[in-house]
């Protein structure tokens, strides 16, 4: 079976062709970074319009790279939740149209579940049950994942997501968008102990939540102090900038790793699966690998190209087909909360 999967939950227009044996025949991603760069963040209206322009070319390229014709596709899957309303509608409409034209099954998938399932695609072995950690620009959540569709939230951010905080701090430091990779690159030359930034909830063993808003504010005060400020006019020498970036990054990593380890202790589950754009962060990957190994656990982090949004996440549709969970043309976009 060959499944065409579509991803338009935020600002990446993506399509992939995947077999029921988890072989990725093609994967195409059209980034919108250049469109949102001057705003230092994703503008929903711009994202939706860009999806409209790019959706059909991306689908065509994915099918072509798989050496197939559209008629060779056996099912169509689309991430229909959660995400930006306009962006989701473009992908859902395209998927429904293709399913109707080709007379093929339609499968709606949960984008967040797909991020964790990417680990099963990458490692080619069952991953459930596991502790699932999703960390990206919109999500910072820990789940008890009993099956591909049974995700129990154990904790998450009560304010900003980790990736959002990376972008905002990078902007304050005058680093280019997207902020996460830029800040991490800057932090390579910095001292992670130079500034004692707060680590909210890290020592609270009663909860598995994150809070990055206060950390972000602490960095702001370190850079410019309280009150209104034009960050574009600030001049920060390179070493101080690197030290702030490294200290901020280390604080985020400590919180993410610490709460993941606490989730392992509370549930007794030793396998940890991680997805989302922040999972590409080198300092985070190394720290979590060391801590999980020290506890005798098993860590699965999706490879770099599967951490950020892409249509290979739609491979979870295979599990839905096996379970007989096929949708009809009433499938709708479910925007919901970006931080869920």
167 is an annotated ligand-binding site residue: yes
Give the three-state DSSP class for 5: strand
Please enumerate in sequence order all residues whose Cβ is within 8 A of that of 299, keeping only pairs 6 or more positions apart, or say none.
271, 272, 274, 288, 289, 292, 293
Nearest-angstrom CA–CA distance, 166 and 163: 5
| One-character DSSP codes across 232-285 | GG----HHHHHHHHHHHHHHHHHHHHHHHHHHHHHH---EEEEESGGGG-HHHH
115 is an annotated ligand-binding site residue: yes
137 is an annotated ligand-binding site residue: yes
309 is an annotated ligand-binding site residue: yes
138 is an annotated ligand-binding site residue: yes
136 is an annotated ligand-binding site residue: yes
268 is an annotated ligand-binding site residue: no
| One-character DSSP codes across 139-171 | -EEEEEEEETTEEEEEEEBSS--HHHHHHHHHH
321 is an annotated ligand-binding site residue: no
Nearest-angstrom CA–CA distance, 74 and 17: 10
111 is an annotated ligand-binding site residue: yes
Binding residues for substrate: 134-138, 167, 180, 281
Binding residues: 111, 115, 134-138, 167, 180, 281, 309
Binding residues for Fe cation: 111, 115, 309
């Amino acid at each position: 079976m060959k499944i065409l999967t579509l991803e338009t939950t935020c600002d990446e227009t993506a399509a992939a062709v995947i077999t029921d044996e988890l072989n990725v025949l093609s994967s195409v991603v059209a980034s919108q970074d250049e469109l949102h760069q001057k705003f230092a963040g994703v503008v929903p209206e711009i994202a939706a319009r860009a999806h409209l322009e790019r959706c059909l070319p991306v689908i065509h390229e994915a099918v072509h790279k798989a050496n197939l014709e559209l008629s060779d596709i056996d099912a169509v899957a689309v991430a229909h939740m959660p995400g930006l309303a306009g962006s989701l509608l473009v992908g859902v409409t395209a998927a429904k149209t293709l399913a109707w034209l080709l007379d093929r099954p339609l499968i709606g998938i949960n984008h967040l579940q797909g991020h964790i399932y990417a680990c099963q695609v990458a490692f080619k072995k069952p991953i459930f049950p596991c502790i699932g950690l999703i960390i990206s620009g919109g999500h910072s959540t820990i789940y008890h994942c009993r099956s591909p569709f049974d995700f129990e939230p154990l904790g998450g951010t009560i304010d900003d997501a980790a990736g959002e905080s990376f972008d905002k701090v990078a902007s304050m430091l005058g680093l280019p968008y997207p902020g996460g990779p830029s800040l991490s690159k800057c932090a390579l030359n910095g001292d992670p102990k130079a500034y004692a930034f707060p680590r909210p909830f890290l020592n609270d063993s009663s909860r598995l939540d994150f809070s990055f808003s206060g950390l972000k504010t602490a960095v702001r005060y370190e850079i410019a102090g309280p009150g209104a400020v034009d960050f574009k006019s600030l001049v920060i020498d390179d070493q101080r900038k690197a030290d702030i970036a490294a200290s901020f990054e280390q604080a985020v990593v400590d919180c993410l790793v610490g709460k993941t380890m606490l989730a392992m202790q509370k549930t007794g589950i030793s396998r940890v699966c991680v997805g989302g754009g922040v999972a590409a962060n080198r300092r985070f990957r190394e720290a979590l690998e060391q801590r999980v190994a020290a506890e005798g656990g098993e860590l699965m982090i999706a490879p770099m190209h599967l951490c950020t949004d892409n249509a290979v996440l739609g491979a979870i549709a295979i599990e839905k087909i096996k379970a007989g969970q096929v949708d009809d043309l009433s499938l709708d976009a479910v925007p919901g909360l970006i931080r869920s």
